[in-house]
A = this chain, B = another copy of it.
Amino acid sequence: MDPQDFRFSTQISHLALDIGGTLIKLVYFSANGDNFEESSDGSIVVRSGCSVVEGRLCFAKFETRKIDDCLEFIRFNILHHSSGVKHPNGTAMDKLSVKATGGGAFRFADLFKEKLGILFDKEDEMHCLVVGANFLLKVDGDGEYERISGTSLGGGTFLGLGKLLTKCKSFDELLELSHHGNNRVIDMLVGDIYGGTDYSKIGLSSTAIASSFGKAISDGKELEDYQPEDVARSLLRMISNNIGQIAYLNALRFGLKRIFFGGFFIRGLEYTMDTISVAVHFWSRGEAKALFLRHEGFLGALGAFTSYETQSHNNDLKSYHHTVEREIVNCSDDKIRHMPVTANLNDGETIECSINLV
Q: Is there contact, CB below 8 Å, between B249 and A149?
A: yes
Q: Is there contact, CB below 8 Å, between A160 and B217?
A: yes
User: Would you call A161 an interface residue if the criterion is a C-beta within 8 Å of the partner chain's C-beta atoms?
Assistant: yes
Kindly list chain B residues whose C-beta atoms are within 8 Å of the C-beta of A310.
none
Q: Is there contact, CB below 8 Å, between A104 and B193?
A: yes
Kindly list chain B residues whose C-beta atoms are within 8 Å of the C-beta of A188.
21-22, 156, 160
Kindly list chain B residues whose C-beta atoms are within 8 Å of the C-beta of A155.
211
User: Would you call A190 an interface residue if the criterion is a C-beta within 8 Å of the partner chain's C-beta atoms?
Assistant: yes
Closest residue of chain B to A19 (Cβ to Cβ) is B193
Q: Is there contact, CB below 8 Å, between A201 and B126?
A: yes
Which of A157, A161, A199: most chain B Cβ within 10 A?
Answer: A161
User: Would you call A12 an interface residue if the criterion is a C-beta within 8 Å of the partner chain's C-beta atoms?
Assistant: no
In whole angstroms, what is the CA distance A13 to B313 when docked?
A: 81
User: Would you call A55 an interface residue if the criterion is a C-beta within 8 Å of the partner chain's C-beta atoms?
Assistant: no
In whole angstroms, what is the CA distance A165 to B238 when docked?
A: 16
User: Would you call A73 an interface residue if the criterion is a C-beta within 8 Å of the partner chain's C-beta atoms?
Assistant: no
In whole angstroms, what is the CA distance A201 to B194 when docked?
A: 47
* Oligomer copy total: 2
How many chain-A residues does the 8 Å CB contact rule pick out? 70
User: Would you call A344 an interface residue if the criterion is a C-beta within 8 Å of the partner chain's C-beta atoms?
Assistant: no
Interface locus among A41-49, A135-143, A240-248: A240-248
Which of A102, A165, A186: most chain B Cβ within 10 A?
Answer: A165
How would you classify the secondary structure of chain A's contact residues: helix, strand, loop or mixed? helix
Residue from B109, B156, B218, B226 in contact with A22 in the complex, judged by beta carbons closer than 8 Å: B218
User: Would you call A153 an interface residue if the criterion is a C-beta within 8 Å of the partner chain's C-beta atoms?
Assistant: yes
User: Would you call A340 an interface residue if the criterion is a C-beta within 8 Å of the partner chain's C-beta atoms?
Assistant: no
User: Would you call A38 an interface residue if the criterion is a C-beta within 8 Å of the partner chain's C-beta atoms?
Assistant: no
Q: Is there contact, CB below 8 Å, between B152 and A210?
A: yes
In whole angstroms, what is the CA distance A241 to B155 when docked?
A: 17
Interface residues, chain A, CB within 8 Å of chain B? Answer: 20-22, 63-65, 102-104, 106-109, 124-126, 147, 149, 151-157, 159-161, 163-165, 167, 186-188, 190, 192-197, 199, 201-202, 209-218, 220, 222-223, 226, 231, 238, 241-242, 245-246, 249-250, 252-253, 283
Closest CB pairs A-B (n = 9) = A103-B193, A156-B211, A107-B195, A160-B213, A156-B214, A160-B216, A65-B218, A103-B194, A249-B249
Given A107-B196, A160-B215, 16 new contacts (CB under 8 A): A22-B214, A22-B217, A63-B217, A103-B199, A149-B283, A151-B242, A156-B210, A156-B211, A157-B211, A161-B161, A161-B212, A163-B216, A165-B223, A246-B246, A249-B249, A249-B250
